[in-house]
A and B are shown apart, each in its own frame.
Chain A
Amino acid sequence: MREFLLTGMQWFIIACILVCIIRILTSRTTSGKLVGLNVLSGVVLAFLVLRGVSEGRALYLDVALVYDIFGFLGFLGIARFLKDKIQGESQE
């Protein structure tokens, strides 16, 4: 029962990841892409935690925590850089 639950949720999360990637690829505006990326980072974190618990290894969960921290920082950097770039283009 335990293996069935964890494996089934892993397949569901893989389907969610594919749908999010389709959303990122098909949206035309930058805001749409950033919204898709925001969802994707949370879903990938859930996949890493499920994988770590189903294997019973604590190492995967350390990787998941570091992924969460650095994904958040990278996200901040992307928004900051794109805002400066778009505002600079509109002023010129």
Chain B
Amino acid sequence: MSIREILAAIAFLAAVIFGVAGLAGLFRFPDPYSRLQAGSLLGTTSVLSIFIGTLLLSPNGAVAARVVVIMLFFLISSPTGSHIVARFTWNIGTHPWRPKSEEKKNQGKTGKGKDEAAPEENP
């Protein structure tokens, strides 16, 4: 059991912890924006930890170089994908979630109800 295997085991343990947390958030959060945040946590931290672990365990230089290239491209493409989904969700007019007590308070104040809490139209 060498030092590289111990470091890889630590990276994989972090990947498991963050992966379970991200999947739980994907099921438990109420609206698409917060779910997207949990998904980005899983996508970035967990998958990147797995890449670091495989980089430590890679058998030869060809495999390690390809893992580095995949890691760099993933660091660019994953936040861009999350951004695309968030903009799509905003553009089709989904309301951000807010607690029911706050909604009632807004209703009492303005008398207009839910539309008061709606996001402004994107230009």
Contact = CB atoms under 8 A, between A and B. Distances in A.
Contact of A34 (B74, B80, B88): B88
Contacts of B50: 9, 13, 46, 49-50
B11 to A, nearest CB: 10
Contact of B84 (A1, A5, A65, A75): A75
Contact of A61 (B19, B26, B67): B67
29 contacts: A9-B12, A12-B15, A12-B16, A19-B26, A20-B23, A30-B92, A31-B85, A31-B92, A35-B32, A38-B81, A39-B42, A42-B42, A43-B43, A43-B47, A45-B47, A49-B51, A52-B63, A53-B57, A53-B63, A56-B59, A56-B60, A58-B62, A62-B66, A68-B70, A69-B73, A69-B77, A75-B84, A79-B84, A82-B88
Q: Chain B: interface secondary structure?
A: helix
Contacts, number: 134
Interface in B49-96: 50-51, 53-54, 57-60, 62-63, 66-67, 69-70, 73-74, 77-78, 80-82, 84-85, 87-89, 91-92, 94
